[in-house]
Amino acid sequence: MTDAEIFLKNLNEHRETAAKMDVLARSVAEAGSLIRETLANGGRVMFCGNGGSAADAQHLAAELSGRYLKNRSPLAGMALHCDTSALTAIANDFSFDEIYSRQVKAHGRKGDLLVGISTSGNSKNVLNAMLAARELEMKTIAMTGESGGKMAEIADVLLNVPSSFTPRIQEMHILIGHTLCEAAEKDF
């Protein structure tokens, strides 16, 4: 297969996945409302994920604290993996499964929001962070693949991309994330 053929195959898969995304319109709107409500009430939006999902978490947090489409006051968005000292200390002293939950317990408050990103919906450290957020009476949004995994059982809002293929799921996560950032900043 040539590079051009690989690209066209990927583009076709992307289109096929995107064509199924309208089933999430109501859930995306609900997630947008949760983010706006959180920010309007002085809460913070925390993001977490692993690998590509961590990159997405950092990207979306930066869109909030910087800007997405318009100049406005910074919004409180943070990616929990960006403090490498905390991340490595917690992983070393406790376990990698606790890298996000301990930070949620340290920094999260009732009225904050956690967005957990996991293509499988079963990443133990993200799942533990969502459970910690629930203990603190924070709201939670899960961005997952089709099954939703274990995160589907505990999220306030489930954004489960209708695919089981990681690259296409991640592409749709950015589409959803950008939509949420646009929704968030329209009130600010």
Please provide the average confidence, as pLDDT, over all residues in the chain.
97
The whole-number pLDDT of residue 188 equals 84
pLDDT in tens, 77-87: 999 999 999 99
- Checking DSSP bridges between strand 77-79 and strand 113-117, what pairing results, if any? unpaired
Determine the average pLDDT of the residues in 142-161: 98
pLDDT digits 0-9 by tens, 43-71: 999 999 999 999 999 999 999 999 999 99
Rounded Cα gap, residues 126 and 139, in angstroms: 14
Which token pair is 73?
């006051």
Q: Rounded to an integer, what distance in angstroms lies between the CA atom of residue 62 and that of residue 10?
A: 27
Q: Would the pTM count as exceeding 0.75?
A: yes
Q: List CB contacts of 30: < 8 A, sequence separation 6 or more.
A: 157
% the chain with pLDDT above 70: 100
